Amino acid sequence: MLLWNLSIRSRLCLCHFPVFDLKGFSGIGRGREKKVALMDPSKQCLICVPLTAKTVKKMLFQLELAKESGADVAELRVDLISGFDAAADLPVLLKDKPLPVIVTPRAKWEGGEYKGSEESRQDILRMAYDLGADYIDVELKVAGGFIQELRSRGKDSTTKIIVSNHNWDFTPSDEEIHATIEQMWATGGDIVKYVTTAQDITDVAQVFHFLSESKGPTIGLAMGPAGMISRLLAPKFGGYLTFGALCKGQESAPGQPTVQDLIEVYRVKSMDRDTMVYGVIGKPVYHSKGPVLHNKGFEELNLNKVYVPLLVDDFNKFMNVFNRPDFHGFSVTIPYKEDALKLCDRVENAAKIIGAVNTVVRETTGEYQGYNTDCEGALSAIEKGLRHSGLANNDETPLKGKLFVVIGAGGAGKALAYGAKERHARVVVANRNYERAKALAESVGGKAIELDQLSDFRPETGMILANSTSIGMEPEVTRSPIHKDALSAYALVFDAVYTPKQTQLLKDAAEMGAVTVSGEEMFYGQAFAQFRYFTDLPAPESAMRDVISKPAAAKKGKLRAPVSAQCSIGTYSRGRMISTRLGFDKLLQRGLYPNSAQFGMLMDKSQVQLVNLAFRC
Ligand code: NAP
């Protein structure tokens, strides 16, 4: 049975894009109507850390850290250990292990690093089985004969056998995946692991599809940046296990999140089939703070919802394939705000006038409703700035009659100009492309000026200035769109740029005596408004702000004060290299001793251990 959003499908002629199982776990297959046994929904998806150390000693340390990180299972990638001697090393690795382990001597022909013969590789698996490893991972290519032989020896073992298959290039068709998975079950393994590579985010729908209709414990993942949501949402679709790296830089496959993110940001341990999905659609998107912010809001209000980054190449294709009731709302960022406007079945008036939609909510009818919260976010931040600084009283329209100068005429510029006009300000638009400035100024009954006239534009004092260009954004942090002296004519200066928080424009404005409002306030404002559209509830603002501004302090049970991990071995440059690899911001300063380095970071216990581990190994 094929289930389509017909209105969208006919409008876009996307006849070849399949919509995956709208009922989540009903076992409906594309082109197949097959009812299959469902996974026990009470079984929680496990979090597994792949351990990639090059020595047994380091792997033992990593095992401790994996336990500390909150993972349920660790995968021992013994093929990565140089000179691995199974007879001597396996008993050491498996003795007193702090958490269940998968023993994986991954073959070269399956993307691994094992250098010995196939016979010696299979001996490692036999030995792990006999020593009572919790799981062994056997590739499909050899699984049939190997498992038969293992079982025929009649030895009792509690070891579960994972039969795995990896496609490092693409995601095959539904039919091919189905046929391969049938072959995998036929080998007699206990768990099936089918891993593909996502070339496009819509490939992940196929992974969710086979997970949903699995007849036994199944691990299903799509590698690569486009496959990230397969890892984040595996628990929702019945995945037996998902992988998370110990820390940034320790990933065993492309697109792997960290265990800490899986647990703390995406709350995968409490995710289930009823979890509603939200996300930010963009390209690029992995820099977005949206997931941290919105997931904190969901957690705070105890909502069974998750917000994920959605790296999308084709907006219409994504919206069509994922048009299902449990994918309920989306933030839309560069470059898709205009595509979102075109796609939505209904669009609020402000978004229509601005010409951009940054928020999409799926109605129960399957239709999409579009909003623009950038406007509300920016203007309420500016109004708050005026009130807090005493430049306006609690008047409902503190911008009324004020001269409001907008720099830029793109999406954010349009939102600012429209919002200012709605609040009865007199609008002036300055833009690099003068024609665009003119068009925008005309649409809001304002006036246009050339960008290079801006520094001499001082018709009155007490004006409001709002930059909506990317001038001053990282890495060009010393740039400003206007000469510092000209800022004396402004009472308040707002900058939509929020990386860095204090832009050159805001620094200059503060020095010239103006009140300044950071783009971060617009970011919060537009996100809080989105949160309300997503949930019909007011956003828990202070918790959401804290998770961005004080990330470590906001986490319960974490150290609140800066911790110095004193690394007494190694030089400063080595420390810097290690801190970068571990994903810490930076090595702040030289340590107290000539040959040491100090991390002045907010770190939790496992991060401190990790630093120490890195220096010891
Ligand atoms: P956009 O639609 O691409 O518009 C970009 C604008 O910047 C255009 O007016 C463009 O002028 C101008 N511009 C770009 N580079 C310039 C340069 N080197 N010199 C002079 N003008 C330049 O982008 P947008 O969505 O409006 O975003 C603009 C900025 O606002 C970005 O920095 C973005 O991060 C920020 N923003 C912040 C938030 C927030 O929550 N704080 C939300 C949305 C956007 P032309 O017309 O001449 O090309």
Torsion of CA 49, 50, 56, 58, to 10 degrees: -60
- Domain boundary pick from 224, 257, 274: 274
382 close to 399: Cβ distance less than 8 angstroms: yes
Task: Give the span between the Cα atoms of 212 and 238, in whole angstroms.
Answer: 6
**pLDDT-wise least confident of 27-31, 221-225, 353-357, 528-532:** 27-31
Query: Measuring from atom 27 of ligand 1, which residue has the nearest CA?
Result: 412
- Domain boundary pick from 227, 257, 274: 274
Same structural domain for residues 223 and 311? no
Q: Identify whether 209 is a catalytic site residue.
A: no
Q: Identify whether 483 is a catalytic site residue.
A: no
Q: Identify whether 484 is a catalytic site residue.
A: no
Same structural domain for residues 244 and 285? no
Query: Reduced to 3 states, what is the DSSP secondary structure of residue 430?
Result: strand
Q: What percent of the chain has pLDDT over 70?
A: 82
Top-confidence residue, 608 or 265 = 265
Centroid of ligand 1 to alpha carbon of 410 (angstroms) = 6
Read off the pTM.
0.84
Same structural domain for residues 74 and 176? yes
Same structural domain for residues 502 and 354? no
Task: Give the span between the Cα atoms of 108 and 128, in whole angstroms.
Answer: 19
DSSP type of residue 567 = B
The residue annotated as part of the active site, out of 79, 89, 137, 166, is 166
Q: Identify whether 178 is a catalytic site residue.
A: no
Residue 94 domain flag: yes
**pLDDT tens, 88-122?**
999 999 999 999 999 999 999 999 999 999 999 99
Same structural domain for residues 219 and 71? yes
CATH of the domain at 392: 3.40.50.720
Task: Give the span between the Cα atoms of 536 and 480, in whole angstroms.
Answer: 39
Residue 562 domain flag: no
Same structural domain for residues 224 and 304? no
The residue annotated as part of the active site, out of 294, 296, 328, 337, is 337
Q: What is the mean pLDDT of residues 118-130?
A: 97
Residue 79 domain flag: yes
310 close to 283: Cβ distance less than 8 angstroms: no
Task: Report how many domains make up the chain.
Answer: 3
Residue 50 domain flag: yes
Residue 421 domain flag: yes
Query: Measuring from atom 22 of ligand 1, which residue has the nearest CA?
Result: 469
Same structural domain for residues 359 and 494? no
CATH of the domain at 67: 3.20.20.70
Task: Give the span between the Cα atoms of 417 and 440, in whole angstroms.
Answer: 8
Same structural domain for residues 152 and 174? yes
Amino acid residing at 106: R
> Chain-wide mean pLDDT for the chain?
86
Same structural domain for residues 323 and 246? no
Residue 467 domain flag: yes
Pairing of strands 359-362, 563-564: unpaired
Same structural domain for residues 267 and 302? no
Question: Could you list the residue range(s) of the whole structural domain that residue 72 is in?
Answer: 46-274
Same structural domain for residues 145 and 109? yes
**pLDDT tens, 478-506?**
999 999 999 999 999 999 999 999 999 99
**pLDDT tens, 250-273?**
777 777 899 999 999 999 999 999
Q: What percent of the chain has pLDDT over 90?
A: 76
Centroid of ligand 1 to alpha carbon of 412 (angstroms) = 7
Task: Give the span between the Cα atoms of 505 and 478, in whole angstroms.
Answer: 9
Residues with CB under 6 A from ligand 1: 334, 374, 377, 408-413, 431-433, 436, 468-471, 473, 496-498, 519, 522-523, 526
Residue 40 domain flag: no
pLDDT at residue 18, rounded to an integer: 41
Same structural domain for residues 54 and 178? yes
Query: Measuring from atom 39 of ligand 1, which residue has the nearest CA?
Result: 523
Helices (H), 95-160: 118-130, 140-152
pLDDT of 607 strictly over 70 = no
- Domain boundary pick from 371, 390, 412: 371
Task: Give the span between the Cα atoms of 245 and 52, in whole angstroms.
Answer: 10
**pLDDT tens, 537-558?**
999 999 999 999 876 544 443 3
pLDDT at residue 157, rounded to an integer: 87
